[in-house]
Structure 1
């Protein structure tokens, strides 16, 4: 093959074009949030939408979590402690940002509203 043949070969001009995009990491993140919350806990609402910047792509998540039981208030405090520094195990993604946006309390119930940003890990 001559050097001219190299120039004529069709090449994909975008290196990642045609690569399968990673699946939404939300289900795995939800499972880890439930584990962190302890039982009994449930996901009351969860949404996920694509997100991108000039350099990164990922997903923005909004989650409502409910904890029940006589120890719900203490579990909520433990859940929130160090949440932003917690390690999450997601396939081909990492949690770039996670925070509690709000919540409410009732007898033996705690609701936590949080948001997270996951980025595709190339």
Structure 2
């Protein structure tokens, strides 16, 4: 019996959907994650790179990401940081570090 998509898949889908709603579609370029736990919480630390065509909408989306409300079934986005933004003539790549925490039931 499957429990559904993992936190990385949910996070990627949420970011892509959030960007699409902002008028700046992006695609996943790179992704990695590791399990994370403290005395009271468990979750994962994600490193992602997303890319899309340059536009004012993409710039605004990137600037607003740290405060964005991303909904992930069974997980909360505890922290999201924009680590790097690389600009080329036809593509902008944004590197993110995201901490997700599993919701307690």
Whole-Å separation in 2 of the counterparts to 1:30 and 1:78: 19
2-side partners of 1:82 and 1:65: how far apart?
15
Taking the TM superposition and a 5 Å limit, the aligned residue runs for 1:97-112 are 97-112=79-94
TM-score norm. by structure 2 comes to 0.83
Over the residues paired in the alignment, what is the CA RMSD in angstroms?
1.9
Structure 2: 5+ residue stretches without partners:
none
> How many residues in Structure 1 have an aligned counterpart in Structure 2?
99
Moved over 4 A (4+): none
> For the pair shown, which has the larger CA radius of gyration, 1 or 2?
1
Which residue, out of 18, 22, 25, partners 2:7?
25
TM-score scaled by structure 1? Answer: 0.72
Q: Which runs of 5+ in 1 are unaligned?
A: 1-20
